[in-house]
Amino acid sequence: MEAIANGLILLMLSIGHAELWIMVINRTHALPIHDAWLKRLRHILELAIVLFPIVLFLSVGLYAPGVLVGGTWSQLSFWWKPVLLLCTLGFLGLMYSAFRHLFYKPPRQQTETQSELIQMRERLNQDLIGEGPYHYLAGLPLNQVFSVEFTRKTFQIPRLPANWEGLTILHVSDLHFSGTLKREYFVELCRIAQESKPDLIIFAGDLLDEMKCLDWLDDTLGPMQAPLGRFFILGNHDWHQESLQIRETLSGMGWIDLSATSFCLQHAGHTLQLAGTEVPWMGTHPESRRSASEENSESEFDFLLLVSHTPDNFHWAVREGYDLVLSGHTHGGQVRLPLIGPVFAPSLHGTRYASGTFARGSTMLHVSRGVSGIHPLRWFCRPEISLLTLRTTDDAAR
């Protein structure tokens, strides 16, 4: 029994070690580092994750002190102690993330949630796997990449003007056109999204992984329309491509680029200020509300909406007084382990904002799981498009 208990301890230490390197992977992938360097770093760290348990079980388990064959932990070599302490902290960190995932609840400002599953293969009755990068992953068992969740969420927001009661925003993110999933998949998904007839459409970045797919815009995002307009920013994967050409193509179709300047939209007697940020990969943050209020009266902006590709800019948005932030980038983790939840999420906050709705002060954040990714693998983490309905609070309505 003692050997079994020690084996479980070694297993937990191995998991904790893996979590430490995954924390490094998550945070380096949130930085403006080009993909070639990130791949090299990830391969090195993945090798360390695989090799460490072998060394640990052989050395500590079987050799010195050999806790699996009668040895005791008191005989552990001095240099192993700080290493295993760090591994223990890594395991505790993973447990904290798991508890946070298990007990996650949307903030009280999210008053209603509905969802509809769209089985794209059955709907189109055709093979939707192309010849793009990592296409072999799309056919793995239990992969949910073709099972898209269309979520409808209602937010009650204090500063929303009463005249905007019921305003709807279609939030789409992370299309990742690469040829791995066929063009027809995205065409149909955009058509379904358009059927919701939103007042406003927001695309939150990561459009292309292969420039050869640029003409896919003609029958995906291109035909989409909304009475109050269509707005976009780009993401880190677009940064790796010819971002200027992507911007020009989308802008030529009538989409408004929020990375260039804030946009003031007049609607029902009130002003909605939309802004976008592609930090840390491109550009700078928009002019802050605080700076703007020095030149204009505070009442000029009745509602402030920020589109940020990464949720890492959420805390900045809170300080600047934005009412609503729409993000993507993290894909919900793409793979969620039972009980544990997401493990990989390219964010300075790890998996904290992997997907869902969050609130700090008077600012709400909605993080989409996105539609696709360079790796077409979704386990227990379906792709997502969202229709957000904004409502006033009871006090605001009065």
Q: What is the mean pLDDT of residues 166-185?
A: 97
The confidence score (pLDDT) of residue 287 equals 83
pLDDT for residue 222: 96
Give percent of the chain above pLDDT 90.
92
Q: Are 323 and 306 members of one domain?
A: yes
The domain boundary residue, chosen from 56, 85, 102: 102
Q: Do both 196 and 55 map to the same domain?
A: no
Residue whose entry in the numeric block shows the structure tokens 């976008």? 276
Does residue 373 contact residue 209 with C-beta atoms inside 8 Å?
A: no
- 351 and 229 inside one domain: yes
Q: Clarify whether residues 57 and 178 are in a common domain.
A: no
98 and 116 share one domain: no
Q: Which segment of 7-16, 69-78, 214-223 scores lowest on mean pLDDT?
A: 69-78
pLDDT tens sequence across 293-323:
444 445 478 999 999 999 999 999 999 999 9
The answer on 269 and 124 residing in a single domain is: yes
Same domain for 304 and 189, yes or no, is yes
- Position 393 scores a pLDDT of 77
List, for residues 321-333, the tens digit of each pLDDT value.
999 999 999 999 9
**pLDDT at position 260, please?**
74
Domain boundary among the residues 75, 102, 129 is at 102
pLDDT value at residue 30: 96
Is 370 found in the same domain as 241? Answer: yes
136-145 average pLDDT score = 95
17-37 confidence digits (pLDDT tens): 999 999 999 999 999 999 899
For residue 394, the model assigns a pLDDT of 60
Quote the pLDDT of residue 294. Answer: 46
The pLDDT of residue 289 is: 63
- Regarding whether 139 and 74 lie in a shared domain, the answer is no
Residues 120 and 15 in one domain: no
* Residue 312 and residue 205 share a domain: yes
Q: Above pLDDT 70, what percent of the chain?
A: 96
Domain span holding position 303: 110-397
* pLDDT above 80 (res 291): no
The answer to which of 199-208, 256-265, 273-282, 343-352 has the lowest mean pLDDT is: 256-265
How many independent structural domains does the chain possess? 2
CA angle 81, 99, 118 (to 5 degrees): 130
* Same domain for 95 and 206: no
Structure confidence at residue 397 (pLDDT): 43
Question: Can you give the CATH number for the domain in which 261 is found?
Answer: 3.60.21.10
Total-model pTM: 0.94
Band the pLDDT of 255: cuts 50, 70, 90: very high
Q: Which of 102, 128, 146 is the last residue of a domain?
A: 102
